[in-house]
Amino acid sequence: MAGRKKQKRPLAEGVVRPPKRVRRRAEPQSSPRAVRRTAWLVGLLTPVLMVGLLAIATNPDYQVLCTVSAFLVLSAGFIGMGFVRARGWVIWPAVLVGVLLLALPTTSIRAQIMAHRAVRTAVVVTGAHSAKDRSGRVSWTCDLRRADGQPLPHPQVGGFGCSGTYDVGQTMNVLVDPAGWAPPASLDDDLSFRGSGVYATAVLAVLWGLLTLGAARRTLRESAGTAGRKGGGKGGVTGGKGGVTGGKGGVAGGKGGVAGGAKGGT
């Protein structure tokens, strides 16, 4: 009858009904071309843009803007790294390398500029300002003007170059960039040590690129292996069906032979 439910046949004695298969949604996978393209863009553009922006940040007038922009570039690089390799250990070395790439370039490039073209100049301390960090340590920043009356870009110096309010009114020598791009530096600053960070920055940029390309290679290898396993499984199922069909043909042939023999005998 039309509204009646179709009842399932009862199983034979001792036969257990097989459990239902749970269908799992396949995780969306990116195409190999998209993975390669993203890996090259993230591996090359992220360190190049970050170092370029932080090199401009050596000028205090652009330091805040360029540092924030470099942080945004690093965040986009992390997102791209997640697209290339959504899981695995690669994200933790990438975080470490990214943080170091954000911290090193400005200081090291500024030290290189001052080491190569700075000129010792007499200045007069006109003011001193203190600031306290979270640990309670007090640091001082001194306002400067040139002793010869000429303009001085970025007329402040901190660190070892400013010891407190008793420096106000005194004349001292500092290193000044004639082009006015980098701020003055104290004679006590170890510029050679800070400038060596440029080489560390280059190594970090290369490491970032290698991490990105290595993550892409691993992702592509896993995708190829998954596709191969799926293809092998489908081929096995098709072969099994062919075997069953052949078996059915053999049974049918056997039945025909028996029927023909019975008729001939009659």
Q: What is the pLDDT of residues 128-146, one digit of tens each?
A: 888 887 888 888 889 999 9
- 247 assigned to some structural domain: no
- Does 49 share its domain with 81? yes
- Does 62 share its domain with 108? yes
- pLDDT tens, position by position, 202-237: 999 999 999 999 888 888 888 776 656 555 555 444
- Does 103 share its domain with 201? yes
- Does 171 share its domain with 139? yes
- Does 88 share its domain with 143? no
- 164 assigned to some structural domain: yes
Q: What is the mean pLDDT of residues 46-62?
A: 96
- 254 assigned to some structural domain: no
What is residue 79's predicted lDDT score, i.e. its pLDDT? 92
- 67 assigned to some structural domain: yes
Predicted TM-score (pTM) of this structure: 0.71
- Does 62 share its domain with 168? no
pLDDT above 50: residue 255: no
Domain count, the chain: 2
- 82 assigned to some structural domain: yes
Q: What is the mean pLDDT of residues 18-27?
A: 61
pLDDT above 60: residue 263: no
- Does 141 share its domain with 171? yes
- Does 125 share its domain with 110? no
Question: Are the C-beta atoms of residues 152 and 146 closer than 8 Å to each other?
Answer: yes
- Does 204 share its domain with 110? yes
What is residue 239's predicted lDDT score, i.e. its pLDDT? 47
- 152 assigned to some structural domain: yes
- Does 136 share its domain with 206? no
- Does 170 share its domain with 57? no
Q: What is the mean pLDDT of residues 9-21?
A: 67
Give the range of the structural domain holding residue 169, as residue numbers without chain letter: 119-176
Q: What is the mean pLDDT of residues 121-125?
A: 93
- 139 assigned to some structural domain: yes
Q: What is the mean pLDDT of residues 186-190?
A: 86
pLDDT above 70: residue 186: yes
Among 13-27, 166-180, 227-241, 248-262, the minimum mean pLDDT is found in 248-262
Q: Say which residue, 203 or 32, is predicted with more confidence.
A: 203
- 133 assigned to some structural domain: yes
What is residue 232's predicted lDDT score, i.e. its pLDDT? 55
> Which of 205, 220, 235 delimits the end of a domain?
220
Q: What is the mean pLDDT of the chain?
A: 80
What is residue 83's predicted lDDT score, i.e. its pLDDT? 87
- Does 105 share its domain with 207? yes
